[in-house]
A and B are shown apart, each in its own frame.
Chain A
């Protein structure tokens, strides 16, 4: 209960002021497309030079938690995921916003973010020593199987047919091979200097999700401008709380999946939301409603990506190994003040460590309050005329892609992928499986190569990848996931008929 002892430190005027600043600033940065949590935290590091260690970490911790949640704002209102963590939120969140339920979607997302986030931080507080072992348990062979598990999700994720889902997943996997390969440094498909570093996930995300939508808005032209009036419904906050806690299944799956996956170094944040979304779709009684603006989709995705925040810091705080890019930036923030994270961190610097964790706990709640406050009027974005909206989204898309590494090359990549995606969508392909392929490709490949190098030097490839309970456990889930997809396919015979395609076209426009 030591964390309660230091809780008071969070509420001194300066510390609380910084906490507010970090939370509000984080929400704004998070809602800006292209500014991922990692970038937001890196941007704030110079400001902590001048602060006490404790104050600096409060600022960084608050910014981290609220940028993850802030990403949902652009995902829901603009269909641009702020970071890979928010991909799953676009699927149902944006569908809700176009139905005029933007306020409800935002409220649900902030409440479930807070629930997931608080749970994740509590895990960090109470179970850190146990979790540290878990974070070390995942070697190359396990990460490989985990990535394969992700691949099995591709087919069933937001697509009118499993085959088309798998095909767009394959396009994503191919895109992931472009550039220098991670381990051997071989050059692959580098046909233009802009892609020599590979396809960066953030510009790809922006292009694949935002550009098809911009083109659709432009093609509709002026004629239909006044034909379509979206009435933005007001949604009382009380009802949002009722809704979140009524959807216990989605909330539980999201929170638990997010916490477990968040722990695994190097994989966590990017796929936590998607896996949680897919799982709650499979377990839900109303799985056919997913993708059409169903509240469970938003709840599962957002509770998962915030639940991941606390556990993702476990390897950093106990083993001194940053498990994610954001944790690496936080490590810099600690080192700059001469604080070395490790098992004695809580003994040597209890004041800094506990206040940091407490501020993340309070930050989650503040983030939720501010989020709910802005949700009401932010939802009016849906009322902006299409022509204006298209211009704004296009501007943000260019700005967001450029800002990732100040490179025009990324803007070209964004535009090219976006244009290609517009045509793919006409044929019933969707962006989410493609992005998942892009994210999982390098994880599966690098871990397979590393694993087989270790295996060749020691026990042999077969033994290395097929022994140990964790390998078998993951393989069994992979098999279960595949059989479930096949069974569902046979049961419902999902085809894209001409009528479906027309219906989808109309839903898009």
Chain B
């Protein structure tokens, strides 16, 4: 009898153990939350809402994804929360912005690094571009750099803040052109930086391709160059890259946006998300909404993102070492 009970208990334990190991088969069983570390209405928030709108479909996750904003300190507040306080149960996702969080972790003072998160998939890539006011005398990057050579440290140009894509682009330009520039970080993000250019408070600015494209369409700015490996054929086929204009600048400043989970999330859940989420981004409704909003998409799988994160970590460590 004793043996029988022991056996039953063992069997039960084995069964629950089994059930536990496979318990993620039904994932997700309830709605999922996705943290966006920027405020409602910003580009990351706006895109995150579009790319997750089909999550509830049967062919996607079958459960809706709700966006929760935790803005503050250039994203540090939200990513700190995701790394230290969020539950790693697969029901808490986060949106990432590369190179922002990698650069911030290298700068220090935050409790996360690339090791704190597991990427799931990438949805978008928004390159930085150099803009000047519509009536500016500058017509190419050469004009800009010539001015900077004549007035060392006197070329003022705006960007969304320190240790974000725009700042990285500014550092790269400074290094590649071998001149000293005056980068003015704006406290009101990309929109504030763009306003400073249009109002003529600064001579130029680094901004997101998607926002610059709209500002150019509105006749407010000229776009002089793209901080990427190739031209953007969809939105700005006529704007040359920095390399074409003789500056050795790669795509380290391109703002990649995607989905990640905190470290410690069970592997079966990561696998399931990594398999379904890229397909969800491919949805034609998502694609058409993103195109309508002027947001360039670049869908990458988990493995590709892991590679991209590692590459960024290396480039940024080198670039920021001199600061």
Contacts and interface: CB of A to CB of B under 8 A. Distances in A.
A385 interface: no
Given A136-B199, A197-B77, A331-B41, A336 B293 contact: yes
Contact of B218 (A197, A319, A326): A319
A301 interface: no
Contacts of A446: 187
A8 B194 CA distance: 36
Nearest to A339: B292
Contacts of B186: 450
A196 B292 contact: no
A46 interface: yes
Contacts of B84: 193
A457 to B, nearest CB: 3
Contacts of A38: 40-41
A135 B105 CA distance: 37
Nearest to B164: A185
A458 B201 CA distance: 11
Contacts of B162: 183-185
A340 interface: yes
A458 B156 contact: yes
Interface string B46-63: 100110010000000000
A139 B292 CA distance: 32
B73 A196 contact: yes
A193 B110 CA distance: 11
Given A337-B292, A407-B70, A332 B45 contact: yes
Contacts of A340: 214, 217-218, 294
B215 A46 contact: no
Interface in B158-175: 161-163
A86 to B, nearest CB: 20
B264 interface: no
B163 A185 contact: yes
Contacts of B187: 182-183, 442, 446-447, 450
A320 B215 contact: yes
A244 B45 CA distance: 42
A136 B41 contact: no
A148 interface: no
Contacts of B268: none
Given A179-B73, A406-B68, A325 B202 contact: no
Interface of B: 39-42, 45-46, 49-50, 53, 68-74, 76-77, 80, 84-85, 104, 107, 109, 153-156, 161-163, 182, 184-188, 191-192, 194-196, 198-199, 201-202, 214-215, 217-220, 289, 291-294
21 contacts: A42-B40, A139-B201, A179-B72, A183-B161, A185-B74, A185-B104, A187-B109, A196-B76, A198-B73, A265-B188, A319-B195, A331-B41, A332-B49, A336-B46, A341-B218, A407-B70, A453-B156, A453-B184, A454-B201, A457-B155, A458-B182
Given A183-B187, A196-B72, A329-B41, 9 more contacts: A39-B40, A136-B198, A193-B84, A321-B191, A335-B292, A340-B294, A341-B218, A453-B184, A454-B201
Interface of A: 38-39, 42, 45-46, 49, 136-137, 139-140, 179-180, 182-185, 187, 193, 196-198, 265-266, 315, 319-322, 325-332, 335-338, 340-344, 405-407, 442, 446-447, 450, 453-454, 456-458
- A-B complex: 3 closest residue pairs judged by Cβ atoms: A197-B72, A342-B218, A338-B292
